[in-house]
Homo-oligomer: A and B are copies of this chain.
Amino acid sequence: MRAWQGRDVISILDFTRDELEQLFAAAEEMEEKLSRGKPPRLLEGRIVALAFFEPSTRTRLSFEAAVKRLGGETIGFSGEEATSLAKGENLADTIRMLDSYADLIVMRHRYEGAALYAAEIAEHPLINAGDGRQHHPTQAMLDLYTVRKLFGTVDGLVYGVLGDLRYGRAASSFILSLTLYRPSKVYLISPRLLRVRPEVRMVLEESGVRFVETESLEEVLPELDVLYVTRIQRERFPDPQEYEKVRGSYRVTLDLLERLAKPDLKVLHPLPRVDEIDYRVDGSRYAAYFLQARLGVPVRMALVSLVLGVWP
Chain A residues in contact with chain B, CB under 8 A? 37-39, 41, 44-45, 47, 49, 55, 57-58, 61-62, 64-65, 68-69, 71, 73, 75-81, 84-85, 88-89, 92-94, 96-98, 100-102, 271-274, 279, 290, 293-294, 297
Contact = CB atoms under 8 A, between A and B. Distances in A.
Contacts of A38: 44-45
A293 B100 contact: yes
A35 B18 CA distance: 33
Contact of A273 (B89, B98, B274): B89
A47 B65 contact: yes
Contacts of A68: 47, 73, 75
A68 B57 CA distance: 22
A197 to B, nearest CB: 24
Contacts of A58: 97
Nearest to A68: B73
Contacts of A57: 77, 81, 85, 94, 97
B79 A84 contact: yes
Contacts of A272: 88-89, 93
Contact of A79 (B75, B81, B96): B81
A61 B89 contact: no
Give 10 nearest A-B pairs by CB, closest first: A100-B294, A68-B73, A89-B272, A38-B45, A65-B101, A64-B75, A61-B75, A57-B85, A88-B272, A79-B81
27 contacts: A38-B44, A38-B45, A39-B45, A44-B71, A45-B69, A45-B71, A47-B65, A49-B61, A57-B77, A57-B85, A57-B94, A61-B76, A61-B97, A61-B98, A61-B101, A62-B101, A65-B101, A68-B73, A79-B84, A88-B272, A89-B273, A92-B279, A93-B272, A96-B293, A97-B271, A101-B294, A101-B297
